[in-house]
Amino acid sequence: MKKPIVVSGLKPTGKLHLGNYLGAIKQYIDFQKDPKIDNFFFIADYHALTQKYNASEKYDEIIEMIADMLSLGIDPEKATLYIQSDILEIANVSWLLGNVISAGQLQNMIEFREKVEQGQPASCGLLNYPILMAADILAFKASFVPVGEDQRQHVELARDAARNFNKRFGETFPVPQGIYVKGLRIKSLDDPSKKMSKSLPKGCLYLSDTPETLRKKVRSAVTDSGTEIVYDPENKPALANLLTIYSEFSNRPIKDIEKDHKNSSYAVFKDALADVLIDELSDFQERKAGIIKDKENLRKIFSEGSDKARAIAAGTLKEMKQKTGLF
Ligand code: ADP
Ligand code: TRP
């Protein structure tokens, strides 16, 4: 029996932050633990080019992200790791899928509109972003796609693409299912109404932040009125966000953390949170410093992964070409 396939990608557009880790990568690691699943994790480098960037920095960003993935515990023995642009077949699959996706649907994508509003050029690359993402998923006939909540609309489009293609050309793709961490959305530390994002650097905790920076950012996080440490996302969204981060990083239920801090002030609670983050992230940073030194080994891991991924994507492309009437 074929194992169910999990596919997910990370876009190398800057340093990883806590939202990326808790919203996406932590799930990869859970999937990877399950021997009944075949995992494919990749660097979405073509997607990264859909927004303004500096070409002289991109290569280093890609290397950093590869090292991040490995240092966070993604294991090449348990998952196939590759770079999107190494698998030429994916762009071909994307072209074929373009014919079963409507232009209107692309123009209505929230992320497209947001990016353009934020000043990104309304390029065809940015508009077609979701088709390429559908190809990333369908080229491997994935059943599950672990991503952050904000990717839901893109996953829905990939589901539509699978259904439309199957309807028009015969059963080809399983309809992939998005896996969203309990709706987890880490909020910006300086504005809990916004998600933590690299576009809001002040409220963003990076995995590479030094202990001093982490402590400083946590200490200056906005808090809500009142003094009690209780989880109340409605009335105390800033504190609820900090408790969520604490719980995710310490792997302890929020209830226990509330109990520990029953009599704590916000300041004491924040310092305890900073301690947890510093502890975990220092270990990660140490591992990464070792891993990134050996670039040859990084290349080897990713080129072995690419060979495996390419063979699968080539099989799907061949099937699609036959079904769509090509030679
Ligand atoms: P950013 O918003 O900082 O540009 P990306 O768009 O590169 O981050 O997101 C990479 C992954 O991390 C996606 O799967 C996304 O859903 C997830 N993610 C990003 N920010 C958050 C957040 N604040 N909370 C939860 N998940 C997030
Ligand atoms: N769009 C995703 C993000 O911004 C990255 C991505 C590209 C992806 N292709 C994918 C995620 C395929 C899952 C599956 O995070």
Regarding the beta carbon of 9 and ligand 2, being less than 6 Å apart is answered yes
Q: Return the ligand 1 atom nearest residue 149 CA.
A: 16
Q: Round to whole Å and give the CA distance between 150 and 115.
A: 13
> 79-83 and 144-147: which strand pairing?
unpaired
- pLDDT above 90 for 79: yes
Which CATH number does 187-290 carry?
A: 1.10.240.10
Over residues 243-270, the pLDDT tens digits come to 999 999 999 999 999 999 999 999 999 9
Out of 3.30.200.20, 3.10.105.10, 3.40.50.620, 2.40.50.100, which CATH number does the structure's domain 5-175+295-324 have?
3.40.50.620
Regarding the beta carbon of 185 and ligand 2, being less than 6 Å apart is answered no
Quote the mean pLDDT of the chain: 95
Q: Round to whole Å and give the CA distance between 323 and 96.
A: 11
Over residues 124-141, the pLDDT tens digits come to 999 999 999 999 999 999
Over residues 272-320, the pLDDT tens digits come to 999 999 999 999 999 999 999 999 999 999 999 999 999 999 999 999 9
Q: Round to whole Å and give the CA distance between 207 and 210.
A: 9
Q: Is 182 helix (H, G, I), strand (E, B) or coil?
A: coil
- What pTM was estimated for this model as a whole? 0.90
Q: Pocket residues for ligand 1 (CB within 6 Å)?
A: 11, 13, 17, 19-20, 23-24, 147-148, 150-151, 184-186, 195-198
Average pLDDT of the segment spanning 93-101: 98
> 187-188 and 191-195: which strand pairing?
antiparallel
Over residues 141-184, the pLDDT tens digits come to 999 999 988 899 999 999 999 999 999 999 999 999 999 876 68
Percent of the chain with pLDDT over 90: 89
- Which segments of the chain belong to CATH 1.10.240.10? 187-290
**198 is a catalytic site residue:** yes
Over residues 215-250, the pLDDT tens digits come to 999 999 999 888 899 999 999 999 999 999 999 999
Indicate which ligand has the atom closest to the C-alpha of 197: 1
Q: Which residues pair with 17 in a beta bridge?
A: 206
Protein residue closest via CA to atom 10 of ligand 1: 20
Cβ-contact 42, 84 below 8 angstroms: yes
Tokens of 309: 């991924």
Is residue 88 very low, low, confident or very high in pLDDT (cuts 50, 70, 90)? very high
Q: Which of 26, 58, 198, 321 is catalytic?
A: 198
**115 is a catalytic site residue:** yes
CA distances (Å), origin 34, targets 12, 38, 39, 136, 180: 26, 9, 9, 22, 17
- Which segments of the chain belong to CATH 3.40.50.620? 5-175+295-324
Pseudo-torsion of CA 215, 217, 220, 222, nearest 10°?
-130
